[in-house]
Structure 1
Amino acid sequence: MKIQTSVPTGKVARASQFMKAGVKVGGNYIKHYSKKLMDPSLSKDELHQDNAADIYDALSELKGSALKMAQMLSMDRGLLPVAYSDKFTMAQYSAPPLSGPLVVKTFKTYFGKTPAQLFDTFSVEAVNAASIGQVHQAWKDGKKLAVKVQYPGVADAVSSDLKIAKPLAVRLLKLNERDIDRYMGEVESKLLEETDYELELKRSIEISEACAHIPGLIFPKYYPELSSKRILTMDWLDGLHLKEFMKTNPSQDVRDQIGQALWDFYDYQIHTLRQVHADPHPGNFLMRANGTMGVIDFGCVKVIPDFYYDNYFRLVNPDTLDDATLTEEIFENLEFITDADSPKERQFFSDLFKDMTRMLAEPFAVDTFDFGDDAYFTKVYAFAEGLANVQELKNSKVARGSQDGLYVNRTYYGLYAMLNELKARIVTTKPEWLRSAKEVA
């Protein structure tokens, strides 16, 4: 694997890396259309593969928020062509690691000691490298440990990276610039939180202790004395990431056990703790043949405001959409429709978001749900793809949807996607008030 000996930290150096990616993308388009002159039937598959590789290479050199954005995009199968989502998936746990000397330098900065002075043994070669940091294996007092070391400079570059990346996102993904601006503050605040390992340490201990009663979940113990603002030490957990786990051909029963643990984990966080592990990608879960699963990385936690929670989940109750007045009130509260909308726009967007709500809430409308039902996910992805082409959304004078929905929706999207890949059949536990009155009767 390629080893990285430095990370661009200055604004000019990082901006140059983004520009380099943009130039390569432009060159790929020229190459594509030149070939298309010779062969009009040529598809964009090769173009997408070339662009995905060039953009990923640039972002992986930058690390931090730039690579984190690729990781987030890889979770959204409906947003990007397959070539992008497949390539960007590498950002979840297979980014190029930093060299040993840079790792040692980080320890000296925050502890005044080398890893060899802090641990009985410490492997300077990373066993895992993702967007914000990389993981090393260590031993101390007979315990096997995982030590997460943050890439240098990523915390200081979050704000400037997002500003530089915006034009590339608008051009490549055809995203509405107004929508990007609307959610930029929420994204920036979460990325800044993810670079604060002292905050992650606090949340990791609190949430793992609160969820320790959930069957099938394994949480590591954390070590404050071996952690700092940029270094986090915890017990080593064994297990396989989702794709590797599925290659072992686990039984339906084992897949159901792990899927149920996933569902129960998120159900308890959202409805009881009102804060949630909002980074549900496969790199944060370690699955085992006995049906248990390790949970790591509480860097991205979304605290759900009561007002948003009450409105969002009232929509999940199947009875709500039968009440036109209540539905309209909730849509206004969640900013799906606004006072600036004409009667025609209100009707259009109300119908659109009713359809979306009915579809995404299907698992909540039943006691058990088969997430292996590919027909359901084909329908969801087709709807998401269709949304990208809805002219009324593109031409709307306002961005639709509360900023609080960004990470809540992302959480459910990631959860559904993992359960689908597991082909898990789930008992969809939920608060009693989310059940239809017809169902209760």
Structure 2
Amino acid sequence: MKPPRSAGGDDDETHPSENDGDPPALDSVAPGWAKRLAASARVAGSAARLAVQRSDREGAIGAALARELDSMKGVAMKLGQIVSYFDGLLPEETHAALHRLQRGSAPVKLERMQRVIEDAFGQPLAALFERFDTEPVAAASIGQVYQARFRGQQVAVKVQYPDIASTMSGDIGRLRALSRIASLATAVDGPSLVDELAERMQRECDYQLEAGYQRGFRAAFASDRAVFIPAVVAERSRLRVLTTEWVRGTSFYEFAAEADAATRSRAGLSMARFAYRSLFALGTLNADPHPGNYLFPDPHTVAFLDFGCVRAFAPDFLARERALIRTVIDERRADFRGALLATGMVPRPKRFDFDLHWQVLRHQYAPYRSAEFVFTSDYVRRGMEMNGPRNSNNRFMAIPPPWIWLQRLIWGLHAVLARLGAAGPFAAVLRDALDAPLRPLPPPPGAAAGDNNA
């Protein structure tokens, strides 16, 4: 679920000309794997070049990339959303164009979405809600959100795109084929990572599962006054339709621009506390920390939206991660090698540069090694560079599938905290979470099998 967004602005974007030496305008994508795969390759190639080349045409090309990812939705659009909230990873003009993917995508017509709702409940839309707004307030990678009224209360109704599950299945199939190539040159088990991604994406298409997780997180954080999680309206929720209470609040970017430094920092600490307490105290991670999933109802509260991408972790995985993190934040270099080897991420230690990885993780956990820390875009950018293609250890590291969600949390959280310019005692937040006893969040129905396989 995403916050309301302002309308307009997109129609003024222009495509670059084929005669300018830049990529031609990207056409809207028709179903069919050949065109989708070709478009994905063009998007990836253009983005890579834009990351190192700044020109007067970057805004136009970025707009074309955003339109292309928008039209593809599913996996491709989600990738674009992730890339867009890392400040400094792309040129500013391209970043600004991709930023609109966080606010929402081009909506699917109401007639098609109405059929999804009516098929889910076996009743006409008019009989299900007292009022249902015809225009969506947000459109995202696998569904769009409408404002409605049910039993006298304002509600948010998230409706899944028709056929999105099959579209994403096709995207995953093509990623699986490409992943085998990655496995040839690195220690990464590409197919296993794609299997992990496929499972998460399939679960994200199950709104009943999402509703169960949302209820669980809401109960777990009920005593935290700085955290608000909207209630699920069970009577109007099904596999492809999720209805929750409506949240009024300021969007992330408005909040970042208008709130004072103390308010932004207080919110940042709440966001970090939610993330790390979820991981280490509940053993379950809401792994989608992008700006569209936060609202700010008042200066003291953060509302957390969208519990579709949730990952539970086995206790032994968390124990190994706790041990590794502690060696870094406690500056125990002598214990670092053993803690890292225990994670299984270094299958060929003789070829691995442990000193280099020590420096990488010292930077990653720098916010938690000092009493106070200020998040900046330069800090995030430097971390991305240290983990980038020039890192010689990349060829020799194995990546356990659950680890990718841990990294998505950390760097995604750091990116939004940098956008806020959040400052404060983040070390205390992480240490409190590391010290907390693990009391796993009970999995909702349909999530128990295979979900704690870290």
Pair 381,355 (structure 1): closer, same or farther in 2 beyond 3 Å:
same
Please, which of 168, 171, 192 is the counterpart of residue 158 of structure 1?
A: 168
Which is worse superposed, 53-62 or 268-277?
53-62
Superposition RMSD in Å? 3.3
Equivalent position of 1:369 in the other structure: 373
Please, which of 423, 426, 446 is the counterpart of residue 425 of structure 1?
A: 423
Distance 2:43 2:330 in 1: 50
Q: Does 1:351 align with 2:360?
A: no
Equivalent position of 2:303 in the other structure: 294
Distance 2:239 2:434 in 1: 40
Please, which of 306, 322, 330 is the counterpart of residue 313 of structure 1?
A: 322
Pair 166,55 (structure 1): closer, same or farther in 2 beyond 3 Å:
farther
Please, which of 267, 270, 275 is the counterpart of residue 279 of structure 2?
A: 270
SS in 2 for 1:302: strand
Equivalent position of 1:439 in the other structure: none
How far residue 23 of structure 1 moved from its aligned partner, in angstroms, is 6.1
Equivalent position of 1:126 in the other structure: 136
Pair 184,47 (structure 1): closer, same or farther in 2 beyond 3 Å:
farther
Which is worse superposed, 50-59 or 129-138?
50-59
Gaps of 5+ in 1: 33-41, 436-441
Contact (CA 8 Å) 2:87, 2:380: kept in 1 or not?
A: no
Equivalent position of 2:251 in the other structure: 241
Please, which of 29, 35, 38 is the counterpart of residue 16 of structure 1?
A: 35
Distance 1:289 1:223 in 2: 23
How far residue 20 of structure 1 moved from its aligned partner, in angstroms, is 4.5
Contact (CA 8 Å) 1:367, 1:429: kept in 2 or not?
A: no
Contact (CA 8 Å) 2:146, 2:156: kept in 1 or not?
A: yes
Q: How do residues 35-50 of structure 1 correspond to structure 2 at under 5 angstroms?
A: 43-46=53-56, 48-50=58-60
Q: Does 1:410 align with 2:408?
A: yes
Distance 2:281 2:107 in 1: 38
SS in 2 for 1:356: helix
Contact (CA 8 Å) 2:179, 2:194: kept in 1 or not?
A: no
Pair 102,8 (structure 1): closer, same or farther in 2 beyond 3 Å:
farther
Please, which of 184, 191, 207 is the counterpart of residue 194 of structure 2?
A: 184
- Render the CA deviation track for 1:99-135: whole Å, top value 9, x for unaligned: 1101111112211223221000001210111111111
- Render the CA deviation track for 1:348-375: whole Å, top value 9, x for unaligned: 2x1121111111222222343333xx3x
Contact (CA 8 Å) 2:129, 2:149: kept in 1 or not?
A: yes
Which is worse superposed, 187-196 or 117-126?
187-196
Pair 63,380 (structure 1): closer, same or farther in 2 beyond 3 Å:
closer
Distance 2:403 2:331 in 1: 19
Pair 25,363 (structure 1): closer, same or farther in 2 beyond 3 Å:
closer
Equivalent position of 2:22 in the other structure: none
- Render the CA deviation track for 1:271-328: whole Å, top value 9, x for unaligned: 211102110111111013432121111001121222221122222224765353x322
Distance 1:168 1:76 in 2: 25
Contact (CA 8 Å) 2:187, 2:398: kept in 1 or not?
A: no
How far residue 217 of structure 1 moved from its aligned partner, in angstroms, is 1.6
Distance 1:45 1:167 in 2: 34
Which is worse superposed, 285-294 or 160-169?
160-169
SS in 2 for 1:287: strand
Percent identity of equivalent pairs = 25
- Render the CA deviation track for 1:210-259: whole Å, top value 9, x for unaligned: 11111222221111110111100000001122112223x22233223322
Distance 2:262 2:422 in 1: 9
Q: Does 1:137 align with 2:147?
A: yes
Instruction: State the number of aligned residues.
Output: 402
Normalised by the length of structure 2, the TM-score is: 0.78
SS in 1 for 2:166: coil
Distance 1:231 1:391 in 2: 44
How far residue 163 of structure 1 moved from its aligned partner, in angstroms, is 3.9
Contact (CA 8 Å) 1:216, 1:291: kept in 2 or not?
A: yes
Residue 390 of structure 1 aligns with an amino acid whose one-letter code is: R
Distance 1:408 1:273 in 2: 14
Pair 433,321 (structure 1): closer, same or farther in 2 beyond 3 Å:
farther
Contact (CA 8 Å) 1:259, 1:419: kept in 2 or not?
A: yes
Contact (CA 8 Å) 1:170, 1:176: kept in 2 or not?
A: no
Equivalent position of 1:38 in the other structure: none
Contact (CA 8 Å) 2:286, 2:307: kept in 1 or not?
A: yes
Gaps of 5+ in 2: 1-7, 12-27, 436-454
Please, which of 80, 100, 103 is the counterpart of residue 93 of structure 1?
A: 103
Residue 239 of structure 1 aligns with an amino acid whose one-letter code is: G
